[in-house]
Amino acid sequence: MCDDAHAGHTLPSRPFTRRTALASAGAGLLVAGTLGPDTPAVADPGARAARGASRTSRITRGTLLVHADLHNHTLLSDGDGDPALAFDSMRAAGLDVAALTDHATLSDNLLGELLAGILPPEYTQVAGLTRSGWARTAAYADAADQDGAFTAIRGFEWSEPLLGHVNVWFTEHYVDVLQAGLMQPFLDWLRRKPGLVLDGGADGLAGFNHPGREPGRFQEFHFDPRVRDRVVSLEMFNRGDDYLFEGYADGRSSPLVACLDAGWRTGITGVTDEHGTDWGHPEGKGRTGLWVAEHSRVGVKRAMAARRFFATRTSGLRVDATATPRGGRRTRMGSVLRLPRGRGVVTVELDLARDREWRGRPLVVQVLRPGSEVPTVVRVVDFEVGPVVRFRLPLDLADGDWVLLRVADPTERNATPGPDGHPGNDLGVAYTSPWWIEAA
């Protein structure tokens, strides 16, 4: 069931990248391939028809929506499932993009591959990936990857038990914990280590996982400007949890505030962090919506590098958002928003949809800005799912250099609440990636 008349919309036959992308009628499935101008549009017969919104935005052009889960585990580290089955499970669940990111903890540095090879398989439950496991992950991803139908990615989760965990994608190699208690050795590795040579560039990408769950919080989000462009994401939905107020009850600031105020420019993701055997299937766990120019590893990597994505816990949800200054250019979420002298009024547009059952559902948009401990909510807009949501918003760089939108359900409560009366105590439905304000 698609949400609006955009279902079945086909882009012009002239390709806007190396591949033409289109949304097939009815199922709302993204199909992309190397198509000529006379090639008929045929939906991928191997994919399950997804229940949800159409894949075209009502406020931007040139990209289509793919649904992704970028954080999953298997028996190659501390998961329960056979990695050979993971990608098929996620594709059968209706996902368009999936990554396996088993833990890299201490196996190579402590014991090395030779000794690891004579230990029982349970060794990886504690020590994480070995070089043979890393090679197996690549083989499974390459076998599952199909341009235009399903994007399969090999990654790993750098896992320091006290500091935190960081996902890494699109690198040729992985790395264990190099020095306990310090982020800089890992960031140095990320800066110098070449990635897979794709059209989108040879640099790997990284993101902060379940921020604040580990007490060190990445050395309070230790910032290295040399890799700012390569650390692209912050998980706000992990499994069924919303990390907006993680640690607040213990006197700590919001991970969102700590991360963005430290200088990182991370988009916002949702993930299942699956450790079981039903990859992709449980409803209510985190997911990421990526706006891609082509459905391939190159297209996914470019969308991630551009922070052109959103977080949700609802399958099939479509979210896109723009901010337009008076007399200026429309700026998409995840981008730098340039304002004259760093201040001005912008028109915000939010396109949110899922299916017919969601039409008329009452939700709210919360505008999040910097705050001392938790984000300041400077505006709350009530709306019903249907038309594009539009409102005017004054912004001033003097109040902080970032802004993002949180969509919430005011009839339900956030299981991890913040201060009394804070709008974030409503149940989160979606987060956009931020805009970063600069003076034009």
Q: What is the mean pLDDT of residues 132-161?
A: 96
- At 201, the pLDDT band (50, 70, 90 cuts) reads low
% pLDDT > 90, the chain: 77
Q: What is the mean pLDDT of residues 16-44?
A: 30
Give the DSSP letter of residue 16: S
- At 203, the pLDDT band (50, 70, 90 cuts) reads confident
Token pair of 297, please? 């590893």
Q: Which positions ≥6 away from 45 have C-beta within 8 Å?
A: none
- At 181, the pLDDT band (50, 70, 90 cuts) reads confident
Q: What is the mean pLDDT of residues 223-246?
A: 97
Helix (H) / strand (E) containing 389:
strand 389-396
Spatial contact of 40 and 50, defined as CB atoms under 8 Å apart: no
Q: Check whether 208 has a pLDDT greater than 80.
A: yes
* Residue whose tokens read 């984000």: 375
Token pair of 35, please? 């198509």
Residue 117: predicted pLDDT: 57
What CA–CA distance (Å, rounded) separates 108 from 127? 9
Q: What is the pLDDT of residues 274-315, one digit of tens each?
A: 999 999 999 999 999 999 999 999 999 999 999 999 999 999
Distance of CA 430 to CAs 49, 75, 126, 412, Å?
A: 22, 31, 33, 14
- At 357, the pLDDT band (50, 70, 90 cuts) reads very high
Comparing 43 with 410, the larger pLDDT belongs to 410
- At 25, the pLDDT band (50, 70, 90 cuts) reads very low
What CA–CA distance (Å, rounded) separates 308 from 294? 13
Q: How far apart are the first and last CA of the chain?
A: 43
Residue 236: predicted pLDDT: 98
Q: Check whether 197 has a pLDDT greater than 90.
A: no
- At 195, the pLDDT band (50, 70, 90 cuts) reads low
Q: What is the mean pLDDT of residues 60-80?
A: 97
Q: Check whether 86 has a pLDDT greater than 70.
A: yes
Q: What is the mean pLDDT of residues 384-401?
A: 98
Q: Check whether 237 has a pLDDT greater than 90.
A: yes
What CA–CA distance (Å, rounded) separates 387 from 45? 32
Residue 198: predicted pLDDT: 58
What CA–CA distance (Å, rounded) separates 314 from 309? 14
Q: Check whether 48 has a pLDDT greater than 70.
A: no
Residue 125: predicted pLDDT: 67
Query: What pTM value is reported for the model?
Result: 0.87
Tally of CB atoms within 10 A around 191: 13
Q: Check whether 13 has a pLDDT greater than 50.
A: no
Residue 135: predicted pLDDT: 94
Q: What is the mean pLDDT of residues 265-271?
A: 98
Residue 19: predicted pLDDT: 31
Q: Check whether 12 has a pLDDT greater than 50.
A: no
